[in-house]
Amino acid sequence: MRREHTLPTPADTHALGVELAGLLAAGDLLVLSGPLGAGKTALTQGIGAGLGVRGPVTSPTFVLARVHRDGRLPLVHVDAYRLGGLADVEDLDLDASTAESVTVVEWGHGLVEQLADEHLLVELDRGDDGEARTARLVPHGPSWERRLAG
């Protein structure tokens, strides 16, 4: 899988999520970073679709975390935007579900990497035109290096 992606439309961002879902296994952690409107939720919706989640995958901004159990693997979707630091992450008790789930954390860069031995950082950005997005996949750990290379 390429490590750099140009995503002209939200549908392209969704499609990248579906493609990423095909690489996912229980215990995986994906950390999504990027400014507001960069496509973090659209990417997570694609991951949910690729995992076979039947219900809507919406931003957990106000509830902080949502668990979708109806797919190939449980999807834990976290919005860390309002979390103040590591203590707030620990209060969510995410490590209780990470071993059997795929955990996707929006705004989690610098906060949640300790939840797993390896993780995939997805850096999303908006283009100057406000429409096209870019995604850069940054593997942390040999398993992610292999999966992206394969």
Residues 23-55 pLDDT 10s: 999 999 999 999 998 999 999 999 999 999 998
Q: Could you give phi then psi for residue 135, rounded to 5 degrees? A: -130, 130
Please tell me whether residue 87 adopts helix, strand or coil conformation.
helix
Q: pLDDT tens digits, residue range 41-97?
A: 999 999 999 999 998 898 766 556 778 888 999 999 888 776 665 555 555 555 546
Handedness of CA 58, 115, 135, 148 (dihedral sign): negative
Question: Where in the sequence is the domain holding 97, given as residue range(s)?
Answer: 4-149
The model carries a pTM of 0.87
> What is the rounded average pLDDT of the residues 2-28?
96
125: Cα within 13 Å, side-chain hemisphere: 9
- The CATH code of the domain that includes 34 is 3.40.50.300
- Mean pLDDT estimate for the chain: 86
Q: Domain total for the chain?
A: 1
pLDDT at res. 85: 56
